[in-house]
Every structure is written in structure tokens, then in C-alpha cells.
Chains A and B, each alone.
Chain A
């Protein structure tokens, strides 16, 4: 099966700068995967997200080499509105990406632009709002919603367009723990229930450990590791290099391993950690 996302040696520099924001990035993602991108601030994660729907280089201009293909579209040749039907992008700040007067118009905006029939748009909007748990909020002003609700509206906006791939750039960075949990739960369900391919940028390692099937590590504008979360979170040298703090359950196990305990697999969840530590006690 052809991968749904293909990055081939992508290097990109913003206008009026010689230093590339991302260098020689290559990876492939299969349909239905849940990929998390982690790395320190300033590593180029947001720039990488903008490559998916052609915002880089079409909106930001600058110099780009290499190719990006998403769902059979070339992000250099195909226009952003065409790409928008295949890849939905949710950016970090929910407030600045909502610009309509009501939630209904906000969520329906993309479908209106695609020229879908009115009844189809209304169905899609209702379904998307129900999926993100915001049914009944149709007539509310997006600006009057809480941060978590705004971010879920932003997700509903792209979900209503029914793209194959959803790219989410730190969607919980400005949210409180409850708001973050609700947003993350919606993202996980988009993958498990709707089969969407998810590409998530986050600093929430607990969530990466819990839901991601694969993790990419970006550091100093380069992709330095690609593997399952367990492999990433058990690699001390890598974590130090990319200045990543693993989930607390992993930290405990890594600490125990450092003190000479034999831990063959670093646990990713609380239950796994409890079993691992219980096993140590028995030994």
C-alpha cells in the first residue's frame, strides 16, 4: 500500500534567512497511523506542520527543496484549497484561527468554500460538533467559548471537511489540564473510531505514550529518530539530546534501571509500570 504521507529530503528556509528551519527531512506515514512529533521549542515542528497542506512554501514563500506528497497530492504543485480536502491543519492558537460570528458558521466555513450542498454542510457540521462534544453550541460566538472548547471547534472545522490526514500543531499548549484531556481524547477517537491519519505535535509526553503508535523526534531542525514511543522513551541519550522529559512512569523505570534493576521493557502506562515494579519486588 502506498504511504499517505511522503516527505523526501525536505529542506526549507523562511524568506530573508539562510538558516533552514527544517533540514533534510524524510519519512513516510501509512494511512491510519497515529504519529507524534516531539522535540524542543524552535526545532522546526510548526514549520514541518505547515508543509503538509502547502502553506510552506505557497503562503510563506521562502526556499524549499525536496518533495512532500499527501494523499497523492504534491504540496508544491497542488493549490492549498485542493490540499485542504485531504489534509486538515489545526494550529496552536485557537483564538486566532476562529473568525466567524457563530460556531455553526465557523465549522461550516470550509464546506461552504468547497461548494457542498447546504443540507450536506449542515449534516457534516452537526456530525463534527457531536464528535467533539459541542452539540448545542451552534449559535454561540466562538470567542465566548473556553480555550478547550475553542480548540475543539477548530478541530471540528477541519473534521467537517472530512480530510484523510489531520495535522495538529500543539493543540493543547494554551489549555488547562481538563481542556487538554478533552481535546486529546477527541484526537485519539478521530484515529481509533474514524480511521483518520493523525500527525500530532505535542509536548505532552504522557499522551504520546498513551496513544501514539509512532514517534518522530526533531532536534536542531533535523529528524533524529523515528520509532515507537517505547523505544524513544527508553533511550536516555536521545532524550537528553532532544531535551525531552519522558512520561513520569518512564522516568521511574529509567531511574530504577540506572540503579541496576533489570527492566527489559520501559513501561508507558501506569498499569504497565505497576506490573513492572511488582515484578521487581517479587524478584
Chain B
């Protein structure tokens, strides 16, 4: 049921308040979007990887995430290399192709911007697990509520996350049942066959999930969810000195990053 949360995993980041981690994550997000220089974003990536090492999260996970986004990254890189309006021409590839906006030259700025975009994607993709894998869902929800996110929204968000493993196991059961009836084209077979078997899996999965969500709705309502009173939270969270240090650093980084950008640094 928890799957998404850290569960039994104990890392140095577990001791931090959820708000601290959320604010630090947002800071990295914003800085990754503010800078367009690959060197600055590389700096952010180094910071994220160091935090990853401190959190003692498995490196294999980064490999899996990158593998998943490899095609998108290649597309981004190619598109920027070809279409970024750079000034330093490196070599001529063809004549100008006006209707697709290609000048015919590969430029240094295009390559740099392409690399920056890919690094930005990598930073954004691997910074999220740092929060998700080191923060149990209840703490994450409490952090959202304390940051003034409406409780109902925070609850729906965290409950949806907590239900993912359940949906996964439901999907495995349906696949198993279909395998028993001779459907084996989940991974192999032609594209059309694969699409057909996937639809055969999705329909019962979605219907089952809807049915379960209705039961969940009844169960939640039966336990006074949405009662018009100020809710109590069993879980408590307090800032520790490390939280304050990280928060101050995050604010300094953010302000410093924005100031550098305003002064013209961090761009191509």
C-alpha cells in the first residue's frame, strides 16, 4: 500500500521536515528553469547527485529513470541542435530549409542549448524521487497542509499515490488471469496485437479501479471525511536545526540564482 513512500527505508533525509524537502525541491526546479547555461545546470545536477548519495538511494534508479526518458532526451537534443537560432556556425549541413525553420548550419549555441535542455530534464526527473522516496506519504500530506494546500486536495493527491501499488497488483492479477486463458501477447507480438491485448487489460483494470474507488468513497465518508470541523493531525512535524540550515541555504540559492540571471549570468 505504501510503495511510493520510504516505508522502512531510513536515510539521513528522513529526519528532515517534509516542508523543508518540498521547498528545497521547488528551489531546484525553479533554478533548473531559470538557467539556460549547461554549466550552471550541471552545477545543479552535481548538487542533486550529492544529495542522492547522502540519501543513500540506489543509483540503479537513476539509470532506470534515464533509460525511460532516453528517447525524449534525444529528440530534445536533436531539435535544439537543428533549430536553435545560434550565431556561431560550426559547419554547414545543407542549404536553408525555410518551411521548417532550419538555417542549414549546426551552431555552437544550438548544441549548448540542446545539452542544457537535456540536463534540465535530467535534473527535474531525478530530483523528484529524492522527495518521494525519503518522505512517507502522511508526512508529505502534512507538509502540503502546513504549506496551506487545502487538506482535501492534499489527501486526494497522497491517496492517489498510495493506491498505485494496489492498481499495479490488480493489473498483475488480470494479466495472470488472461495468461491462463491463452493471451500471451503482452510483451511480444505485432503492434496491433499488443494494442488489442493492452486494451483487454485496461478495460477491466479501469472498471475495477472505479469500483474500488466507490468503496473507498463510502469508507472515507463513513469515517467523517469532510466533516465541517478543524481537523486534528495525529502526525506532528517540527523543524530541527538542520531544517533551518537547509531552508536558509535554499532561499539563498534561489535569490542568488535569480540575481545572477537578472545580471545576465547563467544564460548562453
Contact = CB atoms under 8 A, between A and B. Distances in A.
B216 A96 contact: yes
Interface string A131-156: 00000000001111000000000100
A93 B227 contact: no
B150 interface: no
Given A104-B234, A115-B231, A115-B232, A96 B225 contact: no
| Majority SS at the chain B contact face | loop
Interface stretch (A78-86, A197-205, A208-216): A78-86
B218 A84 contact: no
Interface in B1-55: 1-2, 5, 7
B136 to A, nearest CB: 6
Contacts of B2: 101, 141, 143
Interface residues of A, number: 45
Interface string A226-262: 0000000000000000000000000000000000000
A49 B166 CA distance: 26
Nearest to A97: B219
A55 B184 CA distance: 41
A111 interface: yes
Given A89-B218, A91-B218, A142-B1, A115 B223 contact: no
Given A99-B1, A101-B1, A81 B221 contact: yes
A113 B224 contact: yes
Contact of B222 (A84, A104, A105, A108): A84
A110 B224 contact: yes
Contacts of B227: 81-82, 84, 113-115
Interface residues of B, number: 35
Contact of B230 (A55, A97, A115): A115
Given A81-B227, A99-B159, A141-B2, A116 B232 contact: yes
A59 B223 contact: no
B221 A117 contact: no
B226 interface: yes
B87 interface: no
B216 A141 contact: no
Q: List the 3 shortest-distance A-B pairs measured between CB atoms, nearest first.
A: A110-B223, A97-B219, A143-B1
25 contacts: A59-B217, A59-B218, A59-B221, A88-B222, A91-B215, A93-B215, A96-B215, A97-B216, A97-B218, A97-B219, A99-B1, A99-B159, A99-B220, A100-B138, A104-B234, A105-B138, A112-B232, A113-B225, A115-B227, A118-B232, A118-B233, A118-B234, A143-B1, A157-B223, A161-B224
Given A105-B234, A118-B234, A144-B1, 7 more contacts: A55-B218, A81-B228, A91-B215, A96-B219, A101-B138, A111-B232, A115-B229
